[in-house]
Amino acid sequence: MRIRRETIALAALAISLSLGHHGTVPANAQTRIVSGEETRGGARPVTIPVGIRLKGLKPEPELQMVDLSVSEDGDPQTILSVRAIGNNSPLTLAVLIQDDLVQSVGNEVKPIAEFIRRLPKNSRVLVGYLRTGSLQVRQKFTTDLDKAAKALRSPLGVASAGPSSPYIEVIDAIKRFDAQPSGRRAILLVSDGLDISRGIDSSSATQSIDLQRAINDAQRRGIAVYAFYSPSVVTPNAILIANAQSSLQRLADETGGRAFFQGSGAPVSFDPFLKNLTSSLETQIALTYLSTHLDKGFHRIKIRSATPGVELEYPAGYLR
């Protein structure tokens, strides 16, 4: 399951929402993320994060809609709403930092704090640390961005603090989105990405059970994961590093986010990562459509637009 990239139209300062032959639904219709609790005429609302990558075009703040059509399992679906183009739309974000990362990550606390403070007004932020035993939440979801920024600290930087699998605690953080409003949702994960909870085999991106669970849970809740790679204080061999980075890449790709690396070592600075992340979030939307497939299993999503010019990043689907 890899992200599918299609082209979408970008026209002038506003682009209309295309609903095809399904009729018109108000763009501000109230919808919910997949929960199994609410249906409409045998259908159910699904919200997914969609990242827009512009090719040499700068998005205008007044752009509110995009011209899109959505299909699920090959069947056209009705779009209910497209929200959050531009940097003034609130975001629900969990910032997760692994506690056994190298000490140089402590130098990145201030830039991450400033990134949090610059989020759109009314954004909700959680700050947590992935460590042995359980997720340490230093700040529950709050709209006080300065308070969230101040909750950051340097990772402990000792081997005994590291989790056997960062994805177990990512799953814990994902569940905490359930009490938050629908709309744009994301996780910033700073981690080495290494899962050895079930032995060396579990370090593979295709073999990690907890990685797959994290992907499934994030897709189900419409959460895009953005991963910053940093090694831990115990540096594994080259094969394990490759497996760990591939795992972070897969987690980002399959949830509609992005993974960032600077080789196999510690990044010199997170500044280019944060700049790229900010740009990505400024052109991210929350798209809600009415799914007509109520059966359990994996449902594949495809988003299209007739006019080329922009790349679109979104999850390949979700598991119900």
Place of tokens 């930092």: 97
Mean pLDDT of 295-312: 82
Question: To 10 degrees, the CA torsion angle through 263, 269, 274, 276?
Answer: -50
Query: Identity (one letter) of the amino acid at 188?
Result: L
Give me the pLDDT at residue 87, please. Answer: 56
Residue 89 pLDDT: 86
What is the pLDDT, as a whole number, of residue 66? 56
pLDDT at 201: 86
Q: What is the dihedral of CA 168, 173, 178, 183, to 10 degrees?
A: -120
Q: What are the tens digits of pLDDT across the range 245-264?
A: 999 999 999 999 999 999 98
Could you give all domains of the chain from N- to C-terminal order, each with its CATH number? 4-86+286-319 (no CATH), 92-281 (3.40.50.410)
Q: Average of pLDDT values for 177-191?
A: 95
Where residue 95 falls among pLDDT bands split at 50, 70, 90?
very high
- Among 64-78, 108-122, 283-297, 300-314, whose mean pLDDT is lowest? 300-314
The pLDDT of residue 42 is above 90: no
* DSSP-derived pairing of the beta strands 92-98 and 298-304: unpaired
